[in-house]
Amino acid sequence: MSNMMAALEKSRPEPGLWRVEAPVPEIGPDDVLIRINKTGICGTDIHIWNWDDWAAHTVPVPMITGHEFAGEIVELGRHVTGLTIGQRCSGEGHLIGHESRQSRAGKFHLDPGTRGIGVNEQGAFAEYLRLPAFNVVPLPDAIDDEIGAILDPLGNAVHTALSFDLIGEDVLITGAGPIGIMAAAVARHVGARHVVITDINPDRLALATRVANCVPVNVAEEQLEDVIARLGMKQGFDVGLEMSGNQAALDQMVEALVMGGRIALLGIPPGKSPVDWLRIVFKAITIKGVYGREIFETWYKMIAMLENGLDVRPVITHRFPVSDFREGFEAMLSGRSGKVVLDWTGSSD
């Protein structure tokens, strides 16, 4: 094996990513080395590509980006047990410490010192990735590398959707991005009654109906109160999953919820935004912020649901060899795509 590898790097503090030759990472005693087969492009990668304020303040340069991946273990650190060379895997991209109260309580996803691969540590847009063995999630045969590469965002959808009991409930999802769409599929899979998804982008709403049995609503054209009446709901939605980061969407959600409704917030607003707390208090609404995936309960549940018939593959709308990564980012930047997957298997050709 050569000690150099191809990688997509933020090499300079300006828009874009560059294909570079970088050293294959050296692993420590508790790490594994993973040969990357497929990667997904995330909205975070788009922030880094665009080099917006968040990226400029967060990401040190140079940085190999990317955190959605599937591959195969090619090297084991000397302390690693329970994993084998050749094992197919994905993995949790949040690197956590083990000293905090939360970690010691087993609530790893709440560790305040979390660092992200592809953001704070060298990432997965590369032929090889170093990852702590703790973070590795082995893939069963039923989950191929393409689905393995989108388990991270599917995990966001699963974590958010499973925040509240959805069985028999009417669920409103605001934001038909890839994560909102996958959350619709999850809500349906676990037994919600009505699943309504909103957006202002017709392409995204059309994609939502190809992935999940859900009711698309373009809020630029239709009022949610009309949809509530049309579907025969008595008061409104029982549970809201906010997946747009848009203030207007959250306001509409609060209005469209029943008294005592529950909201899980995944969408990241661009900054501080005014919230109608009075309305939230008098409607006795419960709000939960959601960050990442529960480590590793979300991974367990999502893999089990995929093995049990959950199908999110149609959310992948574009596939490119990594040599065409610019086309992949253009598809994402168009705002019309679902998930975009890059194939690294021929990357050294």
Active site residues: 44, 47
CB within 8 Å of 141: residues ≥ 6 apart = none
Q: Using the rule CB under 6 A, is 200 a contact of ligand NAD?
A: yes
For the CB of residue 43, give the shortest distance to ligand NAD in the complex, in Å: 4
123 makes contact with ligand NAD (CB under 6 A): no
The least CB distance from residue 200 to ligand NAD, in Å, is 5
CA distance 54 to 46: 11
Piece of the chain touching ligand NAD by CB under 6 A; list 1-9, 58-66, 75-83, 192-200: 192-200
Q: Applying CB under 6 A, which of residues 1, 85, 248, 284 lies at the interface with ligand NAD?
A: 248
Residues 65, 195: Cα–Cα separation, whole Å: 34
Select the span of 2-10, 86-94, 135-143, 243-251 touching ligand NAD (CB under 6 A): 243-251
Is the bond into 62 cis (omega within 30 degrees of 0)?
yes
Amino acid at 242: E
Per CB under 6 A, 266 contacts ligand NAD: yes
Q: Which one among 19, 20, 43, 56 touches ligand NAD, defined by CB under 6 A?
A: 43
Nearest to 118 by CA among 66, 155, 79: 66
* Binding of ligand NAD by 50 (CB under 6 A): no
What secondary structure, in 3-state letters, does 224-287 show? HHHHHHHCCCCCCEEEEEECCCCHHHHHHHHHHEEEEEEEEECCCCCCCCCCCHHHHHHCCCEE
37 binds ligand NAD (CB under 6 A): no
Distance CA 274, CA 253 (A): 14
Q: Which stretch binds ligand NAD (CB under 6 A): 2-10, 103-111, 171-179, 301-309?
A: 171-179
Binding mask 216-235 toward ligand NAD (x if CB under 6 A, else -) reads ---x----------------
Tokens of 297: 């309960």
Candidates 156, 163, 298, 347: give the one binding ligand NAD (CB under 6 A). 156
CB-nearest residue to ligand NAD: 177
Contact 1, 342 (CB under 8 A): no
Is residue 245 involved in binding ligand NAD (CB under 6 A)?
Answer: yes
CB-CB neighbours of 210 under 10 Å? 11
Position among 179, 186, 207, 305 found at the interface with ligand NAD (CB under 6 A): 179
Per rule CB under 6 A, is residue 268 in the interface with ligand NAD?
yes
Taking CB under 6 A as the rule, does residue 40 contact ligand NAD?
Answer: no
Maximum Cα interatomic distance, the chain, rounded to a whole number of Å: 65
Interaction between residue 317 and ligand NAD (CB under 6 A): no
The residue whose two tokens read 């509530």 is: 228
**Sign of CA pseudo-dihedral 329, 334, 339, 341:** negative
Q: Note whether 236 binds ligand NAD by CB under 6 A.
A: no
Closest approach of Cβ 315 to ligand NAD, in Å?
10
State the residues that interact with ligand NAD by CB under 6 A. 43, 156, 174-180, 198-201, 204, 219, 243-246, 248-249, 266-268, 290-292
